[in-house]
Structures are given as C-alpha cells and as structure tokens.
Amino acid sequence: MTAPRALEPFDAAGNAPLPSAVTHVWYAAYGSNTHPERLTHYLTGGRPPGGLRDFPGCRDPRGPLRSAPVLLRGRLYFATESAVWTGGRAFYDPDADGELPAHAYLLTLSQFSDIASQEMYRDPVQDLDLTPVLTHGRARLGPGRYETLVCAGRLDGHPVLTFTAPWRSTDVPPNPPSAAYLRHIAAGISAAHGWTPHRTATHLAACPGVHPRWSVPRIASLLAPDRPVPAPAAPPPPAH
C-alpha cells in the first residue's frame, strides 16, 4: 500500500500567505483522471478508450512533474449524465463527511487551466486567475458541473486544486456510472494508493449513486479484465 501524502489544510481564516506567483499546482484528480493513461488524453489530446468525445489537449502536452496519492476531506458521488462515458459523472462534495482517495499530479498553471477548461467544455486558450480560490478556498467560474474550483490544501509549497459542481451531493438525484468510467476510476485509485481490488470496490460501492447498480464483487471484477463482469443487481421493487 502507498501511504497518501498529508496535505497542509487550507486556511479558511486567510492567515496563510498567498504565493507571489503561482507557476505550479497539484491537480487532485478523483474521477477517471485518477488513472494516468486517462489524464494523458487531457494533456496530449485524443479519445480515451470507452469514451465518446475527443479532447483537444493542453497547450503544454508534457507529462506531470510528479504524482502522489492524497486523501481529500469530503466524499465522491455520481450524478447527472456524462456525455463522454454515459451514466453518472463523478463529483466531489468537499462539505460532506468522509475521505476521498485522489491522485494528485504536479502540473504547470497552464496545464491545470487547460484541463479545467476541457472539463468545462471550453477551449484551452488562457490561464485561470487563481486568486479567488486561493483566497477563499472556493471559486465559481460558471453555473455548471466542474465549474467550481476547490483548494483542498497545500503540498510541498504548492496549492492542491480540483474542480467540481457548485451543488451538494444531497441536492441532485444520484445516477450510477458506466462500466468503462467506473473501471478507470477504480484502476486509478488502486494504482495510486496501492489498494486491493476489494478495498477499492468497497470504497466505491459506498459512494452515493453507485449502489445498488454496482455491488462490491461487480466493481472488483472491473479490475480483472479476464474475468466476466457479474450481472447487475436487480432493481428494488417499487414502493407501494
């Protein structure tokens, strides 16, 4: 097992000094980008296996300088409908109880900006102004999904950033993810944190939107491509 790196928590009181010029940030990926091969399609462009959309890539297509497993305060949940994978999208609720295993990549400011822009269905053409998120811990760049920046803390002197939706996990109906999407997330968590398939599956099965469509054995089977994926659980009977 790979021990996660401890984050210096974000200072909501504003006592921590802001860096004079941010050149690098840690991108804390919690969705399909937890898998390095998936992240490559955001950096260099192209269509990921199982996806339905081509990505333009970053202005700087180089790989991350470093990567590290981290735990974010909050929880992972699945909702809305993904245009890339079909099924529910992965979102991060930083105000919920729990911990979320993520894979942090040390990127340049322009690379993080371009990845965020692609997630927001915008053209990757300019760097983001990080002053609001580094000052307040949150910054809404738009009303939609993945248009809210979150600062989860600092690591090795660099801010740890990710993006999610502006709503809470309890504000939207849950929607189970597709097999291809869940496989990328599960494989990324296992690779970054060194978790066994069973531990990874147990964690994901407890995330809102996953159960009962995906059971622990079915999720674990996604990490063993040579084994057939068990049939989905039967839907619960309608309430009377």
Run of H or E residues at 71: strand 66-73
Q: Tens digits of per-residue pLDDT, 146-194?
A: 999 999 999 999 999 999 999 999 999 999 999 999 998 999 999 999 9
Using N-to-C axis directions, what is the helix angle for 36-44 and 179-193, rounded to 10°?
A: 110
CA angle 186, 189, 191 (to 5 degrees): 105
Query: In the prediction, which pLDDT does 121 show?
Result: 81
Radius of gyration of the CA atoms of the chain, in A: 17
Q: Tokens for 166, please give them.
A: 């502006």
Average pLDDT value for residue range 92-116: 96
Q: Is the pLDDT of residue 230 over 50?
A: no
Percentage with pLDDT > 70 across the chain: 88
Task: Measure the CA–CA gap between 134 and 150, rounded to whole angstroms.
Answer: 9
Q: 148 phi and psi, to 5 degrees?
A: -115, 120
